[in-house]
């Protein structure tokens, strides 16, 4: 009886939707490509033209990057749609890139320019004209346009690098850095999962899982409403994480050898559909006599609603009701959350309509514990790299949607693993996830390593050891605070640190402010710390009179300093700092690199020391790609 009621509730809450199928790639090789870059262009857009040349020249030196042109003709450009149709017609002859290359050198993509580009690209003109007139080609352009809009792309040029966005006309170094980071992530994923990994789709799943459906449609060349194909997209199991189940989670079903944990933003409809899919699977397994799947939802505050980033009384009441109400009533709460945040009186009216004690729920919502357990779920998501929508099966990350092919086989494998362990089901899950990992506190304050190949030429201000690079503005109190924190670490701890300091260059060409050049030269003379302390304590460090007074106070001989500033070593250091600014975003200061990893935590001395110790104990020095070298 209970199973039939649950089945009826599932139908009422989540009516049948189009099955999200899997998409065969245009070529099998693309599934094995480390990096896939999709560039969305409007062929009448001047910015698309600028970006096109940058992308083509950069990718010409990167044969391991799959470059895919996607068309997003904008309504403000009347020639963009006919030009996109012509480009897709050239695609039929496998000459789209050559055609777009030629068209991008034309002033306007009118019919005459299209004809010249077709000739320059070496197209069969008769076949090109016939294909261009085919309504199916225009429909393909519209499908690409719809998929791009569904992924949140509104302007051209825009790119997706393994599912991560890169907008506008990029600097060459910015593009190289994005490609290098994508390659590094892909190599890590392949090492964790194996060669069957669909790198591009997994990248989108991790970064913006709500757009995976649109990506699937784009890769198939099909409309979003008709992406059922054979074979379906195949998910896979990733590494195991320590995903703990809390008493405050939303738990469906008793303890079982197999536990599915979904991190859930309850305002996101597709994530609710994921939960519904899991519950339908749980129901089907129970009807088949295998009542051994427990489904757990960890509720996360909606990231997309700025007003909800801090729990408001209506929101905490709603989430408290969802957790405290017995499933499946909780699904009603979650479904209603997809609308705008209701007022408290509306929440209480809906709670009462479900026969729940409003006073009890109001008390629970107002209790500090409610905010605390919401924060615990958010912290666990952060520690396990789990964006809203992430699904874990017995602690192993499922790299796919809940409806993807291969899930049944993965569940069978994990079920056998769980049943092989002795003890109660709850002990089975605990012992399975115990050896998993999550990001340590220090890792959360550190970004992925950057290719800083040129920085070893910088002179150090302190003893040898782990390289720590500090980029500053001498006029900024934040830079001053970071400098004194690192100086104390150098002087008062057992950490061997090789501290370098440089001023962030702001010009378009290699060069440095007077104070920036002076600090590099003084560091080469062994007087860098002393000069830095003095420069951080004046108002105008680049004023000639002020700088001369500081040098005199530090007893630095102007002639000796000038000679050091003119030396080849100092000039190399100046160029390396400028080159590092091109490689790495340094809009805000201070910028701190611990080893090659940017420190992104707050300016807290204890946390900074913890990050330094972590990098020291977990060394990682990735080499920069050849085209990132100075």
pLDDT at 335: 57
pLDDT at 508: 60
Alpha helices in 60-171 (DSSP H): 80-91, 96-103, 111-120, 125-132, 135-150
| Residue 183 to residue 497: CA distance in whole angstroms | 30
Stretches where the chain sits below pLDDT 70 are 1-32, 222-233, 267, 301-344, 346-347, 351, 354, 364-366, 422-426, 453-454, 507-511, 587, 620-630
pLDDT at 20: 23
pLDDT at 132: 94
Do 236-433 and 455-628 fold alike per CATH? yes
Phi and psi at 156, nearest 5°, equal -120, 145
The sheet with strand 35-41 has its strands ordered as: 65-71, 35-41, 158-161, 164-167
Residue keyed to tokens 């086989």:
409
For 455-628, which CATH class?
alpha beta
Domain ranges for the chain: 28-214, 236-433, 455-628
| Residue 398 to residue 266: CA distance in whole angstroms | 20
pLDDT at 2: 39
Cα-only R_g, the chain: 29
Retrieve residue 246's tokens: 């809390």
Evaluate whether 309 touches 301 at the Cβ level (below 8 Å): yes
pLDDT at 559: 85
For 236-433, which CATH class?
alpha beta
**pTM, whole model, 2 decimals?**
0.74
E-assigned strand segments in 222-381: 236-240, 250-252, 258-264, 293-299
CB proximity list for 494: less than 8 A, separation 6 or greater: none
Residue keyed to tokens 């809450």:
13
pLDDT tens digit sequence for 308-351: 344 444 555 555 555 555 555 555 555 554 445 556 676 677 76
Candidates 271, 546, 287, 234; CA nearest to 399 is: 234
SS3 248: coil
Evaluate whether 392 touches 377 at the Cβ level (below 8 Å): no
| Residue 309 to residue 287: CA distance in whole angstroms | 40
- Three-state SS annotation for 568-594: HHHHHHHHHHHHHHHHCCCCCCCEEEE
Strand partners, 500: 469
pLDDT at 315: 54
pLDDT at 90: 94
- CATH T-level fold of 28-214: Glutaredoxin (3.40.30)
pLDDT at 25: 35
CB proximity list for 45: less than 8 A, separation 6 or greater: 74, 77, 80, 156, 157
SS3 603: coil
Evaluate whether 502 touches 577 at the Cβ level (below 8 Å): yes
pLDDT at 156: 92
Residue 323: is it exposed, middle or buried by C-beta count within 10 angstroms (0-12/13-18/19+)?
buried
pLDDT at 270: 79
pLDDT at 509: 63
SS3 152: coil
């Amino acid at each position: 009886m209970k199973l039939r009621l649950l089945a009826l509730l599932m139908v009422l809450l989540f009516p049948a939707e189009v099955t999200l199928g899997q998409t065969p790639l245009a070529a099998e090789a693309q599934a094995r490509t480390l990096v896939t870059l999709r560039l969305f262009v409007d062929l009448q857009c001047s910015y698309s033209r600028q970006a096109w040349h940058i992308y083509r020249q950069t990718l010409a030196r990167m044969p391991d990057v799959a470059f895919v042109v996607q068309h997003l003709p904008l309504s403000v450009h009347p020639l963009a749609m006919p030009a996109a149709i012509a480009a897709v017609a050239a695609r039929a002859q496998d000459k789209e890139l050559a055609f777009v290359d030629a068209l991008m050198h034309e002033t306007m993509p009118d019919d005459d320019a299209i004809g010249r580009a077709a000739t320059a690209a070496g197209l069969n003109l008769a076949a090109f004209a016939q294909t261009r007139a085919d309504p199916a080609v225009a429909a393909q352009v519209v499908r690409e346009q719809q998929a791009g809009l569904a992924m949140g792309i509104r302007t051209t040029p825009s790119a997706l690098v393994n599912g991560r966005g890169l907008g506008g006309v990029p600097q060459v170094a910015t593009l190289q850095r994005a490609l290098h980071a994508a390659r590094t992530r892909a190599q890590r994923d392949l090492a964790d999962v194996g060669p069957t990994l669909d790198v591009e789709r997994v990248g989108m799943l991790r970064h913006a899982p709500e757009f995976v459906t649109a990506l699937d449609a784009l890769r198939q060349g099909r409309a979003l409403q008709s992406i059922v194909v054979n074979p379906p997209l195949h998910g896979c199991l990733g590494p195991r994480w320590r995903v703990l189940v809390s008493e405050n989670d939303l738990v469906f079903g008793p303890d079982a050898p197999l536990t599915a944990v979904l991190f859930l933003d309850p305002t996101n409809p597709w994530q609710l559909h994921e939960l519904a899919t899991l519950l339908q699977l749980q129901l089907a397994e129970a009807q088949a006599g295998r009542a051994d799947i427990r489904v757990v939802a960890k509720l996360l505050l909606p990231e997309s609603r700025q007003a909800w980033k801090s729990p408001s009384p209506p929101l905490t009441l709603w989430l408290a009701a969802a957790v405290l109400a017995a499933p499946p009533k909780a699904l009603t709460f979650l479904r209603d959350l997809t609308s705008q945040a209701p007022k408290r009186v509306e929440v209480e009216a809906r709670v009462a309509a479900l026969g729940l004690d409003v006073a009890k729920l109001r008390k629970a919502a107002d209790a500090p514990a409610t905010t605390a357990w919401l924060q615990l779920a958010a912290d666990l998501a952060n520690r396990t790299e789990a964006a809203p929508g992430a699904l874990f099966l017995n602690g192993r990350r499922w790299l796919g949607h809940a409806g993807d092919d291969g899930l049944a086989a993965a569940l069978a494998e994990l079920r056998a693993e769980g049943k092989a362990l002795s003890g109660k089901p709850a002990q089975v899950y605990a012992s399975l996830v115990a050896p998993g990992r999550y990001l340590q506190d220090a890792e959360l304050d550190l970004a992925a390593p950057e290719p800083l190949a040129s920085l070893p030429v910088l002179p150090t201000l302190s003893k040898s050891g782990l390289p720590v690079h500090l980029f500053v503005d001498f006029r900024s109190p934040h830079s001053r605070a970071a400098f004194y924190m690192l100086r104390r670490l150098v002087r008062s701890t057992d950490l061997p640190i090789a501290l370098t300091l440089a001023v962030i260059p702001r010009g378009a060409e290699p060069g440095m402010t007077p104070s920036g050049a002076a600090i590099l030269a003084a560091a080469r003379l062994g007087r860098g710390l002393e000069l830095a302390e003095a420069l951080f304590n004046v108002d105008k460090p680049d004023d000639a009179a002020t700088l001369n007074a500081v040098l005199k106070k530090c007893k630095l001989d102007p002639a000796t300093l000038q000679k050091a500033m003119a030396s080849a070593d100092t000039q190399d250091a100046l160029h390396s700092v400028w080159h590092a600014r091109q490689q790495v975003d340094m809009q805000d200061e201070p910028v701190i690199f611990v080893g090659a990893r940017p420190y992104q935590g707050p300016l807290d001395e204890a946390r900074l020391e913890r990050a330094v110790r972590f990098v020291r104990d977990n060394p990682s020095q990735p080499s920069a790609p050849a085209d990132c070298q100075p």
